[in-house]
Structures are given as C-alpha cells and as structure tokens.
A and B are shown apart, each in its own frame.
Chain A
C-alpha cells in the first residue's frame, strides 16, 4: 500500500511537469496567460506524509518547472511557500476534522475542496509574481496578473481534478 502511493506520486510528479512544460507553458491565452497546473500535485499529495519530505519534493517540482521555463527559481520559491502553508490552509478549510486519522479529501464537500484549491493557487501566484516583477511600484500589475492567472489556473485545475479524480485515496 505504501509503495503504491509512493509510485503514484512519482508518476504524478513527472507527468505534471511534462504536461505543464510541454502543453500549458505554450498556451498563451490572450497573449500571456499560461496556467500553472502543476499545483495539483500539492492538492493531491497525501496528507499523512512527513512534512520535510513534502517540502523537498515541492521544491524539486518547482525547480524542475523552472529549469524548463528559464525562470531560475521562481516556481520553486512559490511552490515551497504553499507547501509550507498547506497544513494551515487545510485547517482553515476543513476545520479540526483534518487532524483525524480517518480524514480523506474525497469525504469533504465540494465547496471545501474548491476553497482549498483556490487558496493554494492564489497564494502561489501572489508569491510568484511578487518575486518575478520585484518592485512595489508595480503592485497593481502584480495584483492584476495574480488575478487573471489564478482564474485560468483554477478553471483548468478544476477540470483536470474532476477528470482524474482519485477514488481510492
């Protein structure tokens, strides 16, 4: 069972990077919007895993996407941040329930899952564009980009997660 979930995560890791880099980085909606669907990895990642391993995996995930898109370590910084904040976000979305042993993502309501995913995406994009643009003079641009990108990412992540919904975990 443990080996199984480990295996699934490795495949997910590789597939999400490839899908992100080879398909979604070339979309350019309205000239510049490229949804970042690899965030789904953090959404799907098992809850009862050790946190240091989770942080390191997230860093590697972000860094791999960075390598492909020539952005040095922007994705890595943003992904590590949401990986660190994930327990806090989960407590906020699912309440105390999430600390129980029997907690499963599939047992929660649609609205809770949606809030969880949306918060992950918004925080990720906010960190990402703040570091990318890196000036307070352009705060409006940062917020604008965060908003448009978040909407695009959210829509695509919802579509993908309903396509590949995990029943067993």
Chain B
C-alpha cells in the first residue's frame, strides 16, 4: 500500500497530465463522432455575453453595408409582391402557416476550421430549438445545433459533419451537400447520378426531402464538376451565394410540422414489414 502511495506521489505530475489529457481527448473524440458537446459550446451564458458585447460595438462599422443588403432584399421581395396576380385582399390563415421565421444576428462567425460553428444572439427564449434551418438574404447558412436561453450555435455548411439535402434547380435530382475543407466559399454536391445533365453556372437549391429547410432556397452556382467513374456519380463544386466571411443578419426557419413528420417517419421505420 505504501509503495502505491509513493508511486503516486512520485509521478503525480505525470498522472495529472495523463488525467487532463484523457479528459480533453475523450471530449474531443466524442465530439468527432457525435454532435457538438451539449455543454461546452459558445452558446453558454459567459461566452455568449462576451461575444454579444463585442459584436454590439463592431456592428456599428458595418451598418451601412448591412442596410444596403436589407434594402436590396426588400426591393426584390416587393418586386415579387407587386408582380403577383392576387385577389383584392390577402388573408393569412394562421392554421396554414408551416414555416415560422425568426430574425437574428450573428455574434461570432468562424470559417477557418474543419468544423465551423456560428453563434447567434437568439435562443430558446425566442423560440429557437435544435435542428432548425438558418438562412441569410442570399442563401442557406446551416442548421441550429445547440441552444441556451439567450444564444444558439449554428452548425455551418462549412462543417465536415454537415449533410444537407440539395438539388439542381428545376430538376428532381437530389444529392447531399458536403464540404471538403479547402475553400470557404466553395462546397461540394455529391450523389448526383451521371444521367443528369449538369452545366456550369446552374443554380443549386435545397431539396424537398428535408424537414429542416423549405424547398428551393438558393445555395450557389455550379463552378466545376467531374464524373467519378467508380461511383457512377458526379462530384460538383458549388460557389456559394453567401460570402461566408461576412455574415450579419440571418433568419431562423422553424418548420411547425417537423415534429409530425419526424413522428411519422419514426413510426414507419419501426413498423415490422
């Protein structure tokens, strides 16, 4: 017994080092295979508030540019609205609303790591929950991963774990959107079959088979593509509409029917055939 205690005392530094290293490795490896850790992320109270304070100061320098973007979007939406053939009155039936939109601001952006997360300044208090879609004026940004009371973290599309259902506009050929870590303004679309006519410059939008994003939200345009012979499918490089390095205003989309869809899917999968 005494020898064990002596051993521990002699190597206490090494043992402490091993324990600390083991803790950090365990946390990291767990997060490699699963989702981002539920507690150790930047949506917590302390980091969220520090980011919020600095973002409150720095946003002033970009207000003009931000305003211009929003006016541009308003212009586009008004053009659509005025050119629509509508009846005299437009009524919004609340029982028919499938998507709720929550406006928010980015307080911390990141695009240089293999797994990028963005922190925003709205949280569960404002009705934001995990697995909601996040878009900007120009196109998609990512999916909500964790929320605290006042903040939330977004798994960016620039994340090696991100898989988003996407399709080439006006076709029904779906693929999944991934990122190969090389360039923060380019993502990859995989699993598009070789029969599909692909052209450089075509627009890529979100697909219908995800319960997170509504269909036809713009993503980017095709920059280049090549046929992978072994898989009989294309690998397509997409230039994003968003400039991922400067993002400020965002919208969180809440699909009110998602719970129902999920329940139904779970039930179908569990049913014995």
Binding site for B on A (CB under 8 A): 18, 21-22, 25, 28, 31-34, 51-52, 55-56, 59, 62-63, 66-74, 76-77, 80-81, 83-84, 131-134
CB–CB A59/B117 < 8 A: no
7 A-B pairs with CB atoms under 8 Å apart are A56-B16, A67-B40, A70-B41, A70-B117, A72-B31, A81-B21, A84-B14
Minimum CB distance partner of A127 in chain B: B21
Residues in B neighbouring A134, C-beta threshold 8 A: 29, 32
CA distance A84 to B14 in the complex (A): 8
Interface residues of B in 64-119 (CB under 8 A from A): 108, 110-117, 119
CB–CB B112/A33 < 8 A: yes
Residues in B neighbouring A77, C-beta threshold 8 A: 21, 24-25, 28
CB–CB B153/A70 < 8 A: yes
The SS class assigned to the A binding surface is helix
Residues in B neighbouring A62, C-beta threshold 8 A: 24
Residues in B neighbouring A71, C-beta threshold 8 A: 113, 115
CA distance A59 to B47 in the complex (A): 18
CB–CB B41/A67 < 8 A: yes
Minimum CB distance partner of A67 in chain B: B47
Residues in A neighbouring B24, C-beta threshold 8 A: 59, 62-63, 73-74, 76-77, 80
CB–CB B40/A72 < 8 A: yes
Minimum CB distance partner of B17 in chain A: A84
Contact with A along B1-44 (1 / 0, CB 8 A): 00000000000111011001101110111111000110011101
Q: Please, how many residues of chain B have a CB less than 8 angstroms from a CB on the other chain?
A: 41
CB–CB A69/B13 < 8 A: no
A82 nearest CB across to chain B (Å): 11
Q: Which of A52, A76, A131 contacts B12 (CB 8 A)?
A: A52
Number of A-B contacts (CB under 8 A): 96
B115 nearest CB across to chain A (Å): 8
Minimum CB distance partner of B53 in chain A: A22
Q: Which of A66, A84, A131 contacts B25 (CB 8 A)?
A: A131
CB–CB A73/B41 < 8 A: no
Given A52-B12, A55-B16, A80-B21, does the pair A70, B110 have CB atoms closer than 8 Å? Answer: yes
**Chain A CB within 10 Å, residue with most, of B21, B30, B117:** B21
B88 nearest CB across to chain A (Å): 50
Binding site for A on B (CB under 8 A): 12-14, 16-17, 20-21, 23-25, 27-32, 36-37, 40-42, 44, 46-47, 50-51, 54, 108, 110-117, 119, 153, 183-184, 245
CA distance A32 to B245 in the complex (A): 11
Residues in B neighbouring A81, C-beta threshold 8 A: 17, 21
CB–CB A69/B42 < 8 A: yes
Residues in A neighbouring B23, C-beta threshold 8 A: 73, 76
CA distance A132 to B110 in the complex (A): 15
CA distance A136 to B68 in the complex (A): 47
Minimum CB distance partner of B36 in chain A: A70
Given A52-B12, A76-B20, does the pair A31, B28 have CB atoms closer than 8 Å? Answer: no
CB–CB B40/A73 < 8 A: yes
CB–CB A52/B112 < 8 A: no
Q: Which of A51, A132, A133 contacts B13 (CB 8 A)?
A: A51
Residues in A neighbouring B37, C-beta threshold 8 A: 72
CB–CB B28/A74 < 8 A: yes
CA distance A33 to B24 in the complex (A): 23
CA distance A70 to B118 in the complex (A): 9
CA distance A51 to B11 in the complex (A): 11
A23 nearest CB across to chain B (Å): 10
CA distance A33 to B36 in the complex (A): 23
